[in-house]
């Protein structure tokens, strides 16, 4: 099997889709040995089939702003692979959304969902709509317009979307409301729903919680504990606040958060009322990073910079893809970072990952470390199907166990001869085998 030949075929079929091709290369590089050693995967052309989405849906979204002006955005749903369960993956609303980006995320989602041990296939969707600066009514109209097309392709046993960047509880509410009206059913075909209408406790915090649990498991492999460690987080969205909350609860000190314009360093730690304050700013759609320093003057704002220049024990990029580059990785390694646990999807560039792994730093890739979100979405689906709600402690306990299981699976397939655990390799192989075997069992369809 020739990796470069496969990649050049994919480049020809998917011209200019940089992010998607980057994600595929990263996965193939780590699973190629498994494919070579198992002729059944080659005989069934699993690589060719798993890198081609089952379906790409692209549609026009027309909506009217508060001044009566008509806008047109593009909506997408990439249904990548449903070998082990119905399609499942978030929706992203951000001006940077492209088909390539969603294909990368949908592809990654296949392996992530497989790792969770729950029956979920891989998908991703979204739009280039920018929710920033829009009124509540504009957001509602956009979500309704988006769903007026998407509803045809989703359902509780078909495809279950969820939130992602720019899509939180409010947007899910508007989309689910429209879905419910159009199909005439109150079925759990969305996760991240409101608490009073089918949502699960802990879901909003789950991705951040899970990424911290994963960091804790990684530390344990070196006989270390999370208590007393310093943590750099980036962003301050759904994932970051959950990570800040859990890291603080477990006795670590969170010293940074960030936004597109720079980052804040707070030597006293970002916890308790400070997290509540940030959440208030976020809920009111205001800038949050710089204003933090007005309220807490011991903190410093670093304009145009990223948190990775600070000396910390644990770094958790939780904002956006490619937000931690080669230079950032060198800084972290130089400053003695012990663990990097990715809350976001593909936040470290391939060059950064190489440096981190060469330095034998414990590195949990997003598809393993941030799988807590989709895992808890799976738990939300289970509660919906059973028509009951579990208490927060029960959901968190299940989430914690799933993260431990994911860590074990990564360790099983990723441990190298010198004892270093290559979590990228482990996650890719563990995720791949289950999906590939299911595809073989189900035949060529
Ligand atoms: P949110 O939109 O809630 O938060 C994103 C945060 O990142 C915001 O604070 C945003 O600031 C900030 N940000 C955006 N661009 C940059 C940048 N260039 N530098 C620094 N900060 C930036 O998204 P989520 O928290 O939901 O998602 C974050 C990441 O985690 C994404 O990669 C997502 O795919 C991944 N993920 C999310 C899951 C979930 O459950 N939500 C599950 C698994 C993965 P501002 O608002 O000012 O733009």
| 9 plus 42 within the same structural domain | yes
Q: Measured between alpha carbons, how far is 236 from 356 in angstroms, rounded to an integer?
A: 24
For the residues 82-87, what does the mean pLDDT come to?
98
Task: Supply the CATH number for residue 328's domain.
Answer: 3.40.50.720
Structure tokens at 232: 């750099």
- As beta bridge partners, residue 362 has 339
For the residues 228-236, what does the mean pLDDT come to?
97
Pairing of strands 121-127, 339-341: unpaired
Q: Give me the percent of the chain exceeding a pLDDT of 70.
A: 100
Domain-located, residue 419:
no
| 20 plus 166 within the same structural domain | yes
| 152 plus 246 within the same structural domain | no
- Quote the DSSP letter at residue 288: -
Domain-located, residue 377:
no
Residue at which a domain ends, from 120, 153, 185: 185
Q: Which residues of 231-246 are buried (b: 16+ CB within 10 A; e: fewer)?
A: bbbbbbbbbbbbbbbb
Sign of CA dihedral 394, 398, 400, 401: positive
User: What Rg, from alpha-carbon coordinates, does the chain have?
Assistant: 21
Q: Measured between alpha carbons, how far is 421 from 237 in angstroms, rounded to an integer?
A: 29
**Ligand 1 mean position, distance from CA 110 (Å):** 20
Asked if the model's pLDDT at residue 284 lies above 90, the reply is: no
**Ligand 1 mean position, distance from CA 427 (Å):** 22
Q: Measured between alpha carbons, how far is 297 from 388 in angstroms, rounded to an integer?
A: 46
Tally of CA atoms within 13 A in the half-sphere of 154 that contains its CB: 33
Q: Measured between alpha carbons, how far is 285 from 393 in angstroms, rounded to an integer?
A: 30
pLDDT bin (cut points 50, 70, 90) of residue 335 is very high
* pLDDT given at position 287: 80
Q: Give the structural domain span for 253.
A: 206-359
| 129 plus 229 within the same structural domain | no
Domain-located, residue 389:
no
* pLDDT given at position 188: 83
| 271 plus 173 within the same structural domain | no
H/E element holding 56?
strand 55-64
Atom 18 of ligand 1, residue of closest alpha carbon: 260
Q: Measured between alpha carbons, how far is 303 from 384 in angstroms, rounded to an integer?
A: 45
Q: Measured between alpha carbons, how far is 213 from 218 in angstroms, rounded to an integer?
A: 9
Atom 32 of ligand 1, residue of closest alpha carbon: 344
Give pLDDT tens digits for 156-215: 999 999 999 999 999 999 999 999 999 999 988 899 999 999 999 999 999 999 999 999
- Quote the DSSP letter at residue 415: B
**Does residue 126's CB lie within 6 angstroms of at least one atom of ligand 1?**
no
Domain-located, residue 53:
yes
Domain-located, residue 89:
yes
| 226 plus 309 within the same structural domain | yes
How does the average pLDDT of the chain come out, rounded? 96
Burial environment of residue 170 by CB neighbours within 10 A (0 to 12, 13 to 18, 19 or more): middle
**Ligand 1 mean position, distance from CA 6 (Å):** 32
Chain CA centroid to CA 273, Å: 26
Size of the chain, expressed as the number of residues it contains: 445
| 10 plus 156 within the same structural domain | yes
- Concatenated DSSP letters of 145-187: HHHHHHGGG-BTTTEEEE-BTTB-HHHHHHHHHHHHHHHT---
* pLDDT given at position 153: 97
Q: Measured between alpha carbons, how far is 122 from 78 in angstroms, rounded to an integer?
A: 9
Atom 11 of ligand 1, residue of closest alpha carbon: 259
- As beta bridge partners, residue 64 has 70
Residue at which a domain ends, from 151, 185, 219: 185
| 236 plus 90 within the same structural domain | no
pLDDT bin (cut points 50, 70, 90) of residue 131 is very high
Ligand 1 atom nearest to CA at 319: 7
Domain-located, residue 196:
no
Report the domain count for the chain. Answer: 2
Q: Measured between alpha carbons, how far is 330 from 92 in angstroms, rounded to an integer?
A: 31
**Ligand 1 mean position, distance from CA 441 (Å):** 37
| 181 plus 283 within the same structural domain | no
Domain-located, residue 272:
yes
* pLDDT given at position 67: 98
| 115 plus 38 within the same structural domain | yes
9-13, 28-32, 290-294, 338-342: least confident range: 290-294
132 is catalytic: no
* pLDDT given at position 329: 98
| 127 plus 253 within the same structural domain | no
**Does residue 371's CB lie within 6 angstroms of at least one atom of ligand 1?**
no
Asked if the model's pLDDT at residue 310 lies above 80, the reply is: yes
pLDDT bin (cut points 50, 70, 90) of residue 282 is confident
* pLDDT given at position 116: 96
Catalytically annotated residue among 124, 134, 246, 425: 124
Tally of CA atoms within 13 A in the half-sphere of 344 that contains its CB: 22
Give pLDDT tens digits for 343-397: 999 899 999 999 999 999 999 999 999 999 999 999 999 999 999 999 999 999 9
Task: Supply the CATH number for residue 54's domain.
Answer: 3.40.50.10860
Asked if the model's pLDDT at residue 285 lies above 90, the reply is: no
Structure tokens at 354: 């190489």
Tally of CA atoms within 13 A in the half-sphere of 233 that contains its CB: 33
pLDDT bin (cut points 50, 70, 90) of residue 445 is confident
| 214 plus 172 within the same structural domain | no
Asked if the model's pLDDT at residue 286 lies above 80, the reply is: no
Domain-located, residue 314:
yes
- Is 260 in contact with 364 (CB distance < 8 Å)? no
Residue at which a domain ends, from 359, 391, 417: 359
**Does residue 317's CB lie within 6 angstroms of at least one atom of ligand 1?**
no
Structure tokens at 78: 């990439």
């Amino acid at each position: 099997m020739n990796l470069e030949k496969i990649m050049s075929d994919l480049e020809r079929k998917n011209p200019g889709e940089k992010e998607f091709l980057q994600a595929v290369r990263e996965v193939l590089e780590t699973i190629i040995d498994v494919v070579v050693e198992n002729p059944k995967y080659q005989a069934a052309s699993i690589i060719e089939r798993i890198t081609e989405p089952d379906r790409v849906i692209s549609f026009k979204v027309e909506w009217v702003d508060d001044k009566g002006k008509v806008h047109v955005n593009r909506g997408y749903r990439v249904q990548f692979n449903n070998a082990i369960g119905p399609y499942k993956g978030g929706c992203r609303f951000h001006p940077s959304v492209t088909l390539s980006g969603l294909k990368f995320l949908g592809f990654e989602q296949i392996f992530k969902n497989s790792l969770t041990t729950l029956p979920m296939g891989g998908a991703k969707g979204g739009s280039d709509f920018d929710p920033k600066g829009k009124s509540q009514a504009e957001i509602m109209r956009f979500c309704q317009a988006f769903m007026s097309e998407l509803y045809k392709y989703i359902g509780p046993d078909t495809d279950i979307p969820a939130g992602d960047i720019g899509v939180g509880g409010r947007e899910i509410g508007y989309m689910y409301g429209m879905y419910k009206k159009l199909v005439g059913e109150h079925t759990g075909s969305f996760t991240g729903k409101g608490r009073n209408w089918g949502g699960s406790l802990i879901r909003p915090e789950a991705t951040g919680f899970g990424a911290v649990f994963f960091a804790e498991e990684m530390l344990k492999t070196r006989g270390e504990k999370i208590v007393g460690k310093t943590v750099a987080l980036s962003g301050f969205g759904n994932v970051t606040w959950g990570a800040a909350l859990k890291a603080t609860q477990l006795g670590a000190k969170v010293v940074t958060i960030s936004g597109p314009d720079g980052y804040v360093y707070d030597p006293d730690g970002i916890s308790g009322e400070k997290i509540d304050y940030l959440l208030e700013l976020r809920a009111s759609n205001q800038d949050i990073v710089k204003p933090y320093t007005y309220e807490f003057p011991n903190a410093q704002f670093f304009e145009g910079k990223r948190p990775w220049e600070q000396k910390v024990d644990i770094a958790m990029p939780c904002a956006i893809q490619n937000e931690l580059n080669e230079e950032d990785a060198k800084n972290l390694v130089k400053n003695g970072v012990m663990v990097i646990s990715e809350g976001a999807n593909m936040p470290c560039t391939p060059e950064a990952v190489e440096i981190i792994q060469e330095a034998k730093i414990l590195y949990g890739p997003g598809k393993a470390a941030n799988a807590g979100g989709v895992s808890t979405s799976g738990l939300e689906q289970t509660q919906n199907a059973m028509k009951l709600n579990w208490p927060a402690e029960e959901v968190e306990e299940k989430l914690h166990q799933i993260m431990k299981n994911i860590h074990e699976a990564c360790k099983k397939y990723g441990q190298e001869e010198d004892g270093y655990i290559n979590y990228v390799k482990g996650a890719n192989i563990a995720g791949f085998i289950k999906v590939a075997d299911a595809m073989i069992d189900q035949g060529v369809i």
